[in-house]
Amino acid sequence: MSLLAEGAPRAPSGGLGRLVVHVFGLLFLVLIGLSILTNLLVAPVVVSPCASGQPCGAPPTVPAVIRETGWRSSRYGFTLEYPASVVKVSQQTPSGVVLAVNLSGKGGAVTVEGFGPGTTPAEAISHQVGALGGVSQLAADKNPAHQLLGAGVGYLAGAGRTYVGDATSPQGSQPVSIASQAASDGRVTVSATVVGATSDSGYRSDLYAVADLIINSVRWHG
Amino acid sequence: MTGTARPRRSRRAGRRSLAWRPLALLGVLVAVGAWWFARPSTPEAQGQRTRPVLLRATDPRTTIDFTLVLRLPGQAHLTRFLNELTDPAAPNYHHFIDAAAFGARFGLSRSGLSRARAQLTRDGVEVTASYPQRTALDVRATAGTIDRVFDVRLMDWRGADRQIFHAPLRAATVPGDLSGVVSAVAGLDGTTLVTDDSASIQGLTPTSARSVYDIDPLLAGRVTGLGENIALVEFAQFDQSDLDGFNQQFNLPPVTPRNVAVDGGATDDDPSSVAEANLDLEVAHEIAPGAGLLDYNAPQTTSSGADNFGAVLDQITADGQARIVSDSWGSCEADTPRADIQRDEQALEAAAAHGISVFVAAGDTGAYTCQEAAESNHSLSVSWPSSSPFAVSVGGTSLSVTSTGAYAGETAWDDTLEQSGGGGGLSLVYNRPAWQNGPGVANQFSTGMRQLPDVAAAADPWSGWDVYTGGSMTVAGGTSAAAPFWAGSIAVVAEYAGHHGDGQLGFVDPMLYAIAARPPQAPAFHDITLGANRYYPASPGWDFATGLGSPEVTNLARDVVAYLKR
């Protein structure tokens, strides 16, 4: 404490001065302690290489990371990641984000949004898809080949639905496929809806690969 | 997670924020552009596939190659022998036998075989190949002869991909004078075309793969799979110049796989099929650069469209040059004719008796393998021959690495929108073998049938493997990559065990389960507990999405040595 006191600002006067010095010293110690703790907590997990002839120890069990660009919902706390090379944030609020996907000049969109725990995954999907603008003739996709098997978000099982519609733009109208999934961890419900043109299966596959990556990357309380 | 972006100033909050979304989506959709409008919507683009179309009766003069599955009079003894082979407490533990001994011990008698050959000749059926393990006879006959002898009506069909194949209207019947010798007629139904389990997007270098799966310490100790041969089952010819390019790119030692042509050798030169063969060889080589590679290649299908897996595997066993086999090909188990399964299974049993481990890709459509051929097929299903109790079924993961290339985590490969994921589920044909036991194996989905996969490794194309094919680098994934990865890993483990005085590993599946069930002093597996395979979730211990998990190869090598020295 004395060493710290020497480095602290001089006390204004008398007993009050000593109190200020002690308080500052204590704060300084707390700050150092906190910084050490923070360093320990956020430092990257270092996996020691195995030495030949020696046991390697337990394999690392850190959660998966994808090394993409991250986004966090300030309202609900969930996070997601997206490959910035082909995805840009188009719009965002504290609850959700619209990600524009650009694959060799061909577009698509992935909307991810949080809802309160009172909203079921099915309700979240209905809400999100019902609010899609610029899409007319919206109808359930009855093609069984397009049914979403194993639907969910962030590796939590949930609900999934597919739709077809026509997107209207200045160039005219074009058919689009819409796939929406949602899941809940009991505290927040997250829905993710992908919209893309239907007429090119290769493009759609690429769009879905990006969308799967984003949807799987959702972590519930990041 | 890196680089979490700060949320920008919000315009609205909560659900009302949806008010801006229509505009945003419209903007994105506008960006799709006029490019789309001139493109007609086709059934293929919408993911629709057509059922096979019946064309006509097969021309009776058409020559067709098919297979007669031979009875194994010693099947009960064989089952007991195979169980004892992997049981350290049994007298027959690791008493492997070669193909000829297998035939003599469990197969038909020579005189019985001679009588059968004579009868077939009288019937107009030519025997084109036989195997010392006496599991099958490859035969050839005209369609007219087949119709007459085996009481079928062969028809020509056009498949979803416009290929023409033969298939009978009803199952073949073994005639009375052959019924004591032949148990089934395989290869007449070409409905099921085998598919390779690979997909492509972006990559994992050899350096990173060896690091994340903990192979580096062994390689640093010059344990590279030397003395081991890995046989790869291929239905297309690999490209040596691509393999050379791969080795040059990553500074790996040169390798020239030995070409072993079966049934005339592979003729498929489609770039995607060649890429599959290249992927298999390159992944096996980068993991076990000291191991020899044997390229067993055959036409993908017989003339009737059935797969050649059993014939290729019988050849591998008969040659006796390799103890490790990798197969990246498979078909929907439920749609594979039982006679074909039986033919393959006998080849797998003979391989196991010889001490061979066959690593087989579990498929790339998650818990819905049969959806690969028919997108509307939503039944839970698995891949054949991955579902055999005598195959090591290899599932798929999504691998994450740090910026320095170190292991950061793994999840079960689960892409709902893309309809892809690591294969896994329950066999409809085979029971769960006694050795398939351990934490997590018996769970809420268990029914007593064979459970797969056994193990897993990186397969998600997004985190896939660097591959050199068609003269350039690309990236590929799928359990196609995971199977040769495991084959290479076991080659390295086998050499390490050899240095420690241990002999042959044998069929490794029972040993892998026994090791996984032991207290984890040096855990041999990354237990993957996150993700799913579109139906079955990953969970602690064994699970239907990733099996026992992916390997910590150096730990596995040490655990294998400890296990063998018990």
Q: Give B519→chain A minimum CA distance, Å.
A: 12
In a domain, A175, yes or no: yes
All residue ranges of chain B with pLDDT < 70 are: 1-52, 159-162, 190-202, 301-306, 520
Q: Which of A40, A62, A84 delimits the end of a domain?
A: A62
Q: Domain check: are A50 and A145 in the same one? A: no
Contact criterion met (CB below 8 Å) for B343 and B367: no
CA-CA distance, B294 to B292, in Å (whole number)?
A: 7
Q: What is the pLDDT of residue A19?
A: 59
Q: Does A108 touch chain B (CB under 8 A)?
A: yes
Indicate whether A143 belongs to any domain. yes
Task: For the sheet with B383-384, list strands across it.
Answer: B195-196, B329-332, B383-384
Residues from chain A that touch B419, judged by Cβ atoms under 8 A, are 149
- A108 and A210 in one domain? yes
Same domain, A48 and A149: no
Tell whether A85 and A147 lie within a shared domain: yes
pLDDT digits (tens, 9 = 90+) for A185-199: 999 999 999 999 887
Contact by Cβ (8 Å): B425, B450: no
Report yes or no: A202 and B48 within 8 Å, Cβ to Cβ: no
- Residue ranges and CATH numbers for the domains of chain B are 53-71+108-186 (no CATH), 195-564 (3.40.50.200)
Question: What residue in B sits closest to A51 (Cα-Cα)?
Answer: B217
* B497/B352 Cα distance (integer angstroms): 19
- Residue A29 pLDDT grade (very low, low, confident, very high; cuts 50, 70, 90): low
pLDDT, tens digit (0-9, with 9 covering 90-100), for B150-178: 998 888 877 666 677 788 888 889 999 99
Residues A49 and A92 grouped into a single domain: no
Which chain A residues are Cβ-neighbours of B369 within 8 angstroms?
none
Name residue, tokens 């320990």. Answer: A40
Are residues B45 and A105, on separate chains, in Cβ contact within 8 Å?
Answer: no
Asked if A29 and A112 sit in the same domain, the reply is no
Give the model confidence (pLDDT) of A157-178 as tens digits. Answer: 999 999 999 988 777 888 999 9
Select from A20, A44, A62 the last residue of a domain: A62
A87 and A102 fall within a common domain: yes
**Model pLDDT, residue B51:** 61
| pLDDT at residue A25, rounded to an integer | 59
Number of domains in chain A: 2
Residue A93, pLDDT > 80, answer: yes
| Chain B residues within 8 A of A105 when measuring between CB atoms | 33, 35
Print burial letters for B435-452: b (CB count within 10 Å at least 16), e (below 16): bbebebbeeebeeebbbb
Q: Do B44 and A201 touch (CB under 8 A)?
A: yes
**φ, ψ at B186 (rounded to 5°):** -110, 155
For residue B416, the model assigns a pLDDT of 96
Please answer yes or no on whether B1 and A91 come within 8 Å at the CB atom: no
Q: Which of A15, A43, A62 is where one domain is finished?
A: A62
**Residue A30 C-alpha, separation from nearest chain B C-alpha, in angstroms:** 28
The residue behind tokens 């594979």 is: B336
* Residue B391 per-residue DSSP state: S
- Residue span of the structural domain in which A38 resides: 1-62
Nearest chain B Cα to A166, which residue?
B29
Q: Give the chain A residue whose CA is nearest to the CA of B218.
A: A52
Q: Are residues A79 and A149 in the same domain?
A: yes
What pLDDT is attached to residue B164? 75
Residues in chain A within 8 Å Cβ distance of B3: 69-70
Residue found by looking up tokens 């067709």 in the block: B64
Q: Is B495 helix (H, G, I), strand (E, B) or coil?
A: helix
**A222 in a structural domain:** no
C-beta atoms of A209 and B15 within 8 A: no
Answer whether residue A76 is part of any domain: yes
Note the pLDDT of residue A58. Answer: 38
Average pLDDT over every residue of A198-219: 88
Please tell me whether residues A126 and A179 are part of one structural domain.
Answer: yes
For residue A25, the distance in angstroms to the closest alpha carbon of chain B comes to 34
- The answer to the question of residue A98 being in a domain is yes
Pick the residue from chain A with its C-alpha nearest to B368: A149
Residue in A64, A170, A196 nearest the CB of B408: A64
Q: How much is the pLDDT for A156?
A: 93
How far apart are the C-alpha atoms of B251 and B501, rounded to whole Å? Answer: 31
* Count of beta carbons in the 10 Å neighbourhood of residue B310: 28
Contact B461 A209 (CB under 8 A): yes
Residue A174 lies inside a defined structural domain of this protein:
yes
Residue A22 — very low, low, confident or very high, per pLDDT cuts 50/70/90? low
User: Do A199 and A161 share a domain, yes or no?
Assistant: yes
What share of chain A in percent tops pLDDT 70? 69
CA B64 to chain centre: 26
Domain containing A203 — which CATH number? 3.40.1000
Provide ipTM, 2 decimals. 0.76
> What is the overall mean pLDDT for chain A?
76
Cβ <8 Å between A107 and B5 = no
* Residues A76, A11 share a domain: no
The model scores a pTM over 0.90 = no
User: Is the residue at A91 inside a domain?
Assistant: yes
Residue A46 has pLDDT above 70, yes or no: no
- Inter-chain touch A155–B411, beta carbons under 8 Å: yes
Predicted pLDDT at B199: 43
Give yes or no: residues A111 and A168 share one domain. Answer: yes
> Does A221 reside within a domain?
no
